[in-house]
C-alpha cells in the first residue's frame, strides 16, 4: 500500500510540474524579413520565425507559404536560438539563428545576412492553429 501511495504521489508531482519557458519574453513572437508580406499574423511572402515561450514554433517561407514546425531553445551566453525541425514529431534537422541584442533582430543565413525584425510580440490561438503549432 505504501508503494502505491509513493507511485501515485510521483505521478501527481510529474503532472503538476510547471511549464518551463525556454525562450525569453523579449524573443517570443513573430519575426519576419524586411520584404515579408503578412496578412494579419500569417506570412504570405518572405521569411518568418514564429516562437512561443515554451520553444514551440515554426519557420515559414513564401510564396507560396510553406513551413516546418520547430522546437527551439535560447542560449544566453551565445545569444543563439538553437532549433530542431520536426516532421510528424521526429527531428529532421537542426540549426540555429542568432538574436542580435543591440539591434533587437534575429539574424540567419550562412553569411548572417538575413535580418528578421519583430512584427508581433505574441501569437494568437488562431495563428497557432493555422501554422500547426
Q: Look at residues 43, 44, 46, 45 and name the one whose alpha carbon lies nearest to residue 57.
A: 43
Instruction: Check: CB of residue 73 under 8 Å from CB of residue 84.
Output: no
Nearest by Cα to 125 from 41, 14, 11: 41
Q: Are 16 and 98 in contact (CB under 8 A)?
A: no
31-43 tens-digit pLDDT:
999 999 999 999 9
Residue written as cell 497557432? 128
* Residue 53 Ramachandran class (φ > 0 left, ψ -120 to 50 alpha, else beta): alpha
Position 82 scores a pLDDT of 98
Q: Residue range 18-47: average pLDDT?
A: 93
pLDDT tens digits, 78-132: 999 999 999 999 999 999 999 999 999 999 977 788 999 999 999 999 999 999 9
pLDDT at 13: 45
- Residue ranges and CATH numbers for the domains of the chain are 19-131 (2.40.128.500)
Overall average pLDDT of the 53-61 stretch: 98
Work out the average pLDDT over 6-16: 42
Q: Which cell numbers hold the place of 96? A: 540555429
The pLDDT of 40-59, averaged and rounded, is 98
Dihedral of CA 12/15/18/21: which sign? positive
Amino acid at each position: 500500500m505504501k508503494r502505491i501511495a509513493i507511485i501515485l504521489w510521483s505521478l501527481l508531482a510529474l503532472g503538476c510540474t510547471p511549464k518551463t519557458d525556454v525562450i525569453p519574453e523579449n524573443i517570443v513572437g513573430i519575426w519576419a524579413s524586411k520584404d515579408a508580406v503578412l496578412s494579419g499574423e500569417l506570412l504570405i511572402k518572405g521569411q518568418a520565425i514564429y516562437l512561443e515561450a515554451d520553444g514551440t514554433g515554426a519557420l515559414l517561407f513564401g510564396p507560396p507559404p510553406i513551413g516546418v514546425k520547430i522546437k527551439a531553445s535560447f542560449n544566453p551566453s551565445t545569444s543563439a536560438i538553437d532549433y530542431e525541425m520536426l516532421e510528424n514529431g521526429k527531428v529532421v534537422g537542426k540549426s540555429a539563428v542568432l538574436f542580435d541584442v543591440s539591434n533587437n533582430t534575429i539574424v540567419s543565413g550562412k553569411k548572417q545576412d538575413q535580418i528578421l525584425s519583430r512584427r508581433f510580440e505574441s501569437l494568437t490561438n488562431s495563428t497557432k492553429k493555422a501554422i500547426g503549432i
